[in-house]
């Protein structure tokens, strides 16, 4: 699972063989979350509180183009 972005103690990554639609996983301190990239939307939360989720969502929004490029490069599927 390649890391594609780090911000503070948050690690953004994809799993090998991840499936569409484009999304990103984020982990920190044993907690994990998954956000779709278009539109940015929470789909899975394992342990983050509302304040952390809002912070992570802002980080995803701020980096969405970079994350999409990395997802499409990783998956081998071109952007639409």
Positive or negative torsion for Cα 11, 23, 39, 53 = negative
* Contact (CB, 8 A) for 37 and 67: yes
Half-sphere exposure (CA, 13 Å, Cβ side) for 59? 21
Q: Which domain holds residue 58?
A: 3-75
* Contact (CB, 8 A) for 10 and 24: no
Asked if residue 69 belongs to a domain, the reply is: yes
Tokens of 56: 């992570």
70 pLDDT exceeds 60? yes
Quote the pTM value: 0.88
Asked if residue 39 belongs to a domain, the reply is: yes
d(CA 28, CA 36): 18
Asked if residue 70 belongs to a domain, the reply is: yes
79 pLDDT exceeds 80? no
Mean of the pLDDT values across residues 45-57?
97
Total structural domains in the chain?
Answer: 1
The 10-13 sheet, strands edge to edge: 3-7, 10-13, 23-28, 31-37, 40-46
55 pLDDT exceeds 70? yes
> What is the pLDDT confidence band of residue 45, given thresholds at 50, 70 and 90?
very high
Asked if residue 34 belongs to a domain, the reply is: yes
pLDDT of residue 68: 93
Asked if residue 49 belongs to a domain, the reply is: yes
> What is the pLDDT confidence band of residue 15, given thresholds at 50, 70 and 90?
confident
Asked if residue 80 belongs to a domain, the reply is: no
Asked if residue 10 belongs to a domain, the reply is: yes
């Amino acid at each position: 699972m390649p890391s594609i972005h780090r911000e503070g103690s948050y690690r953004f990554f994809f799993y090998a063989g991840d499936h569409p639609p484009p999304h990103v996983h984020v982990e920190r301190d044993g907690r994990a979350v998954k956000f779709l990239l278009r539109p940015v939307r929470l789909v899975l939360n394992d342990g983050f509180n509302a304040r952390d989720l809002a912070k992570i969502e802002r980080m995803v929004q701020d980096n969405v183009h970079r994350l999409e490029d990395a997802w499409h490069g990783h998956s081998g599927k071109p952007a639409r």
